[in-house]
């Protein structure tokens, strides 16, 4: 009897879990809006990258060297400031969605 009750409880909990995941699906309009937003962000990023490349290209050679050294120094400092691997591994920053997005 206990075994039968535990199986029924397990099946009910599984059904509830699947029902909650399916109710969080996006509608067609929401998917289309998200797709358009993603495309706009991609185009904007491309424009910004093109501007930054143009900005870099018009600089004199001495400034390019200084910019390169500064970028290298910043990368080194930021790498030292980074949290340890173990703390980053076990940090709770995962999304709460059913599909993991």
For the chain, the farthest-separated pair of C-alpha atoms sits apart, in whole angstroms, at 83
Say what the pTM is: 0.48
Give the model's confidence band at 31: pLDDT under 50 very low, under 70 low, under 90 confident, else very high. very high
Residue 100's pLDDT is what?
52
Mean pLDDT calculated for residue range 38-44 = 96
Distance of CA 31 to the CA centre of its chain: 17
pLDDT at 81 (0 to 100): 84
Which residue shows structure tokens 């990258």?
Answer: 49
Q: What SS3 state is found at 87?
A: helix
What beta strand segments (E) does 1-101 contain? none
Q: What integer is the mean pLDDT of 43-63?
A: 96
């Amino acid at each position: 009897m206990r075994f039968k009750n535990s199986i029924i409880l397990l099946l009910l909990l599984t059904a509830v879990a699947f029902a909650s995941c399916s109710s969080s699906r996006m509608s067609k309009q929401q998917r289309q809006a998200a797709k358009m937003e993603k495309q706009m962000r991609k185009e904007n990023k491309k424009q910004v990258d093109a501007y930054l490349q143009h900005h870099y290209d018009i600089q004199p050679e001495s400034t390019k060297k200084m910019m390169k050294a500064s970028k290298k120094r910043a990368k080194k400092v930021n790498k030292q400031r980074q949290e340890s691997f173990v703390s980053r591994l076990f940090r709770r920053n995962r999304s709460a969605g059913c599909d993991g997005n």
